[in-house]
Amino acid sequence: MATSDINDPAIYSDLPSKATHKVSETASQVKNKVSDLGATAVNKVDENREAAAGGIQSAADTLHANAESLPGGDKVSHLAHSAADKLSATAEYVREHDVNSMMTDLGRLVKNNPGPSLLASAVIGFLVGRALSSRE
């Protein structure tokens, strides 16, 4: 390209469409990468569901086994058994549902309970922020 070509407006007439095409192409590539990463994450979670459910069930079994020996009498023992039952139900839920159905259930829960969901999100965000800032 000669110096005189730089001053020729004809070479710049196609520039906006080329830029739009390049941005669109880059956005498509980013979307594909994010989609691939999401699919990989879902697959990893699904692969580890059984192990997670086993860990939750183990905690429930331990709590059931030790509930009677906790200090505080029958009331504490009852609360411990109740918590263990909830953990067992959670383990069963994790075993029976894949990530996609869990996300659907979570969406339904948030939609039906927006106030508590917002509060829970704020608390989790605060705790994550505190954890990250304490590392610095």
Which pLDDT score is estimated for 40?
Answer: 85
Lowest mean pLDDT among 6-10, 38-42, 122-126: 6-10
Q: Taking 90 as the threshold, does the pLDDT of residue 39 lie above it?
A: no
Residues 78-88 have pLDDT tens digits of: 999 999 999 99
80 versus 43: which is more confidently predicted? Answer: 80
The helix-helix angle for 15-66 and 99-112 (nearest 10°) equals 90
10: its two tokens: 């004809």
The model's pTM is: 0.59
Secondary structure, 3-state, 68-136: HHCCCHHHHHHHHHHHHHHHHHHHHHHHHCCHHHHHHHHHHHHHHCHHHHHHHHHHHHHHHHHHHHHCC
116 versus 3: which is more confidently predicted? Answer: 116
| 25 vs 18: CA distance, rounded Å | 10
Q: What is the mean pLDDT of residues 112-131?
A: 92
Which pLDDT score is estimated for 53?
Answer: 92
